Amino acid sequence: MTQRHSFRPSFIVIPFFLLLGIGIVEVWSSSYYFAYRKFGDPNFFLKREILFVLVSIVSAFIFSLLDYRILKKLSVPIVLLSIFLLLMLHINGVNIRGAVRWLRVGRFLFEPSGFAKLALLIYLADFISRKHKYRSDMARGIFPIALITGVIFLLIALEPDVGTALLVGLTFLGTIYVFDYKPKHILLLVFPIILVSALIVYAYPEKLQRVINFFITDKVNYQIEHALIALGSGGILGAGPAKGVYKSLFVPDSYNDFIMAGIGEDFGLLGVFLVIFLLLSILMFIFAVSKRCRDSFGKALSFGIGLMLSLEALMNLFSVYHLMPPKGITMPFLSYGGTSLLIQGAMIGVVLSIYRYCEFA
């Protein structure tokens, strides 16, 4: 129980709530014109986002009360359920803009890949805690978890969702590297990830064109071009909520994947820096918990959560700022979406549970 006084739950809870609040404001600011034109209700997305945020908070609260070690006992059925849901996409999935990523649950859509990300983190942490002594043995210490990760990676990539698949793959590789698995074994796992990603990109002309535009022709597509204009037009202080023009009229998905473009236009460079500061506060708390936790399962799970959220935020920012091809990755705690906010809330709750129940060094 030592060293808890140096960082408290408020260090993660306050930034979490602030980001959710900023997300509500920006989702409304970025979507009201589109919502009015398509649904006749300028607050259509705002109402749903408020509901999603409440679900995220409840999810965080519930998981913070549960002893995280229960998840260790349930890791196998959880990861098998996630694979089953990913398989269901190919039977009864909802196709939106050429991608089958959602299952319909009543009036809402559920994204199984979001659940699969958390399920894999739980199973990976459980595997590391049980099999770490075999980390130098390819057959017993790496192949079983690589197989499960590979199945999840492939099912997500085939939706197709190369961005989320890469997020899963990079989180897996980064976690086993930090937990002292042999670099030569990790390098062997990098090749199939690159190969499958390249084949999926090659199979879809629009994805291939994005890569060609970024790496070869340096041509900026419509969405990126206007996102950059929106970011630049905000200046230092921004135009103010709902006063920005570009993100509302010219940037597709400005309330979702490209919400940072709206924040840049509405709240300026200071708003972008505030979001980054709040995200860093959350991540620093998560990695501090991982560093101090003596339980190997809690240590690996909190580290995996921190790494996944870090990579997700970086991939989103790099896409918006044209530092990598667009990947369709949401910004944690900000972007519109029920599944993503539900799972991110659960991640925050799990970290708080580890903080509460794990013995600290």
Higher pLDDT, 207 or 354: 354
Q: Output the CA angle 12-17-20, nearest 5 degrees.
A: 125
User: What secondary structure letter does DSSP report for 216?
Assistant: I
Which amino acid appears at position 157 of this protein? A
Helix axes 143-157, 162-178, angle to 10 degrees: 160
User: What secondary structure letter does DSSP report for 293?
Assistant: B
Report the distance separating Cα 25 and Cα 136, nearest Å.
49
- What are the residue ranges of helices labelled H in 204-245? 205-212, 222-233
The domain of 97 spans 4-357
Res. 111 pLDDT band, cuts 50 70 90: very high
Report the distance separating Cα 14 and Cα 264, nearest Å.
22
List all residues 6 or more positions away from 275 whose beta carbon is below 8 Å from its beta carbon: 19, 22, 260, 263, 331, 334
Residue 4 has pLDDT above 70, yes or no: no
pLDDT > 70 in the chain, percent = 98
Residues 286, 293 contacting (CB under 8 angstroms): no
Which amino acid appears at position 321 of this protein? Y
- How far, in Å, are 25, 128, 211, 325 from residue 216 at the CA level? 38, 40, 8, 12
User: pLDDT value at position 210?
Assistant: 87
Span 255-308, pLDDT tens digits: 999 999 999 999 999 999 999 999 999 999 999 999 999 999 999 999 999 999
Span 295-312, pLDDT tens digits: 999 999 999 999 999 999
Read off the pLDDT of each residue in 221-238 and give the average, rounded to a whole number.
92
pTM to 2 decimal places? 0.96
Of 25, 24, 46, 23, the closest CA to residue 34 belongs to 46
Indicate the number of domains in the chain. 1
Residues 334, 321 contacting (CB under 8 angstroms): no
User: pLDDT value at position 105?
Assistant: 87
Span 80-105, pLDDT tens digits: 999 999 999 989 999 988 889 999 98
Of 173, 178, 176, the closest CA to residue 287 belongs to 178
- Which value, in Å, is the radius of gyration of the alpha carbons in the chain? 20
Helix axes 143-157, 75-92, angle to 10 degrees: 30
The secondary element (H helix, E strand) that includes residue 99 is strand 99-105
The tokens of 124 are what?
């990976």
Q: What are phi and psi of 50, to 5 degrees?
A: -60, -45
Read off the pLDDT of each residue in 18-30 and give the average, rounded to a whole number.
97
Report the distance separating Cα 111 and Cα 351, nearest Å.
22
Paired residues of 341 in beta bridges: none
- What are the residue ranges of helices labelled H in 66-134? 69-73, 75-92, 112-131
Side by side, the strands of the sheet bearing 99-105 are 94-96, 99-105, 108-110
Handedness of CA 124, 127, 133, 135 (dihedral sign): negative
Read off the pLDDT of each residue in 241-247 and give the average, rounded to a whole number.
87
User: pLDDT value at position 288?
Assistant: 96
Residue 217 has pLDDT above 90, yes or no: no
The tokens of 139 are what?
């057959």
Residue 130 has pLDDT above 50, yes or no: yes
Which amino acid appears at position 1 of this protein? M
Read off the pLDDT of each residue in 136-143 and give the average, rounded to a whole number.
92
Span 148-202, pLDDT tens digits: 999 999 999 999 999 999 999 999 999 999 999 999 999 999 999 999 999 999 9
Residue 252 has pLDDT above 70, yes or no: yes
User: pLDDT value at position 1?
Assistant: 44
Of 275, 308, 296, the closest CA to residue 120 belongs to 308
Alpha-carbon torsion angle 156, 159, 162, 163, nearest 10: -80
